[in-house]
Chain A
Amino acid sequence: MSIILVLIILGVLTTLIIESMPSIKALGIGYLWGKVWDPVQNIYGAYPFLIGTLLTSFIALIISIPFSYAIAIYLGEYNPKGWLSDLLKNTVELIAAVPSIIYGFWGLFVLVPLVREFEGKIHVLPYGIGIFTASIILAVMIIPYGASLGITLIRMVPSPLKEGAYALGATRFEVIRNVIMPYTRSGLFAGILLSLGRALGETMAVTMLIGNTSAVPTSIFAPGNTMASVIANEFTEADHTEYLSALIELGLVLFLVTVVINLIGRRIITRFTNN
């Protein structure tokens, strides 16, 4: 079974490379830092979308970490049993099951006016949609990934360890800080990595909220675009070979970015665990 999975991944990679050959040949490595995306003139540069993808994903991650850690610690340690705990845990997990188009519509009709009001108050151009709004929605969407892994891990911390600490006179906060967190560190980090993977590839909700301009974003409140949403937007109507191939190359870049970030994450995990 796992061999089939490996074959599928390799197959995807090979297809992406073969299909993006025309674009790679025509544009070379400059594709990665080209700032213009113009299907009419056949000029393609992925830089604005690369920045957009990384910006939205990492901002979303930064927003989501406090929430998912707080949820994990509360439901894992402070309130691990009982109906309230079950209800909260199931609700958090349900967040992951809501289709992303629902988030998109909710964002467009509820979140965007709020953000626009906020932007008006801090005197930036009140677009309402943009990198910031997309990141907030992404943050909500990825919270359950970090949180539910965290809950499970924190509940698995052996009681003798915790009891030992309590016996030495540690407070609950000290137990969490000095026993639970170190014990679950690599697991919690894996949860973050999972959520980052989700954030990098999320398409529909982001497409509806990011503003879809192919200019390099000038601030986090500016509209932008991500690699996944460009593909979703333009793939069906890409009407000439170079255009289609440039879009597929965008998919290849997204694939590689995800792989690289995962590899870095894995290294960090091993390092933490060894120490």
Chain B
Amino acid sequence: MNFSKSLKLAVVAFAASCLSLAASAQDNTLLGAGSTFVYPLFSKMFSQYTASKVNYQSIGSGGGILQLTNKTVDFGDSDAPLNDDQTKKMSAAVLHIPMTSGAVVVTYNIPGVTAALNLSGKIVGDIYLGKITNWNSAEIKATNKGVNLPDLPIAVVHRSDGSGTSFIFTDFLTKVNPEWATKVGKASAVNWPAGLGGKGSEGVAGLVKQTPGAIGYVELAYAFENKMPYANIQNKSGKFIKPTIEATTLASNVTIPADSKVSITNTDNAAGYPIASFTWALIYKEQNYNGRSKARATELVKLLWWNIHQGQAFCAALNYAPLSKSAVKVAESILKSATFDGKSIL
């Protein structure tokens, strides 16, 4: 009896503390959830931003979108724009605001080869389709004259978990390799025609490092930090571009549509690195929902405004590519279109 009584008390106390926590969070902390890719940058940005507190949960792009759909967060963040199904589930219009851009690099482990390989999208696609199976094949030799490529079978490694990185990579292959487009397509998880899956960037990196002859793909920042070799990728203009922060920013320096929902893989920019993408913050266009206050809506828009201006200064140090001029301009006008009760917030 006594025990059940204290149990009840404990439950009540726990529930009360949860409620009060939720309530206090409701009061002054902005809530965000989504992409894990952008998380290191966001935590740096939000620790430097003094006007309001932000709590960002890196639960993955899909999770962030779901949280925004359920209106449990103020903003989501996704590495891919909403698809039709996700848009349909949202009860109101959603704005996509580009936050930063990131690149995906093709990494490999070929004993004896130290030079950066030159690879085209066609070659990478054919490797991942299982059509090119040896490092000394004629196609790879053709773009890498002077490199002594060994007779070594290629071990293909891809991400096994659904991820924005895979989305960017398959989006690029879909654009440049017609057979990939018809057989596989683009998504955060696809039916991989060949190879092994590693869980997370660390899983892919681990397999590539251990397996002689392996090829894999990881985010640029991850390859930098772990000193992995990466290939120069041929862009639309036919140039082989070394993946750098500058080349990634240049990839987004193209004409961007007004809603910013654009894939910048295989960019038109002649100096841009072709496997790059924005990550977008997602907010409702009409900010008056669920009884939110106007102050809270203003705080949110101001935060995102700060992110795309002053916040960009933190990008380079963390190996993210700052937004290009054209991207900032589009992001500004999108933020200005956010409303509260139909009236513009900024």
Q: Which residues of A contact B (CB under 8 A)?
A: 36-41, 108-109, 112-113, 116, 127-129, 207-208, 211-214, 223, 225, 229, 232-241
Dominant secondary structure of chain B at its interface with chain A: loop
Residue in A closest to B209 when the chains form the complex, CB atoms: A109
Question: Residues 170-192 of chain B: 1 if any A CB is under 8 Å from the residue's CB, otherwise 0?
Answer: 00000000000000111111111
Cβ-defined contact, A239 with B65, below 8 A? yes
B161 within 8 A of A: yes
B163 within 8 A of A: yes
Residue in B closest to A127 when the chains form the complex, CB atoms: B196
| Residues in A whose Cβ lies below 8 Å from that of B163 | 237
Residue in B closest to A36 when the chains form the complex, CB atoms: B191
Residue in A closest to B185 when the chains form the complex, CB atoms: A40
Cβ-defined contact, A236 with B60, below 8 A? yes
Cβ-defined contact, A41 with B155, below 8 A? no
Q: Which of B85, B195, B199 contacts A240 (CB 8 A)?
A: B85
B229 within 8 A of A: no
Nearest-neighbour CB distance to chain B for A162, whole angstroms, equals 43
Question: Residues 160-174 of chain B: 1 if any A CB is under 8 Å from the residue's CB, otherwise 0?
Answer: 111110000000000
Cβ-defined contact, B211 with A128, below 8 A? yes
Nearest-neighbour CB distance to chain A for B176, whole angstroms, equals 17
| Given A40-B186, A40-B191, A239-B85: A234 in contact with B196 (beta carbons within 8 A) | no
> Can you name 30 A-B residue pairings with CB atoms under 8 Å?
A37-B191, A39-B187, A40-B187, A108-B203, A112-B210, A129-B196, A207-B199, A211-B196, A211-B197, A212-B160, A212-B196, A212-B197, A213-B195, A214-B191, A214-B192, A233-B160, A233-B161, A233-B189, A233-B197, A233-B199, A234-B161, A236-B161, A237-B60, A237-B62, A237-B164, A237-B189, A239-B62, A239-B187, A240-B83, A240-B85
Nearest-neighbour CB distance to chain B for A148, whole angstroms, equals 30
| Residues in B whose Cβ lies below 8 Å from that of A212 | 160, 196-199
Cβ-defined contact, A236 with B162, below 8 A? yes
Q: Which of A112, A223, A239 has the most CB of B within 10 A?
A: A239
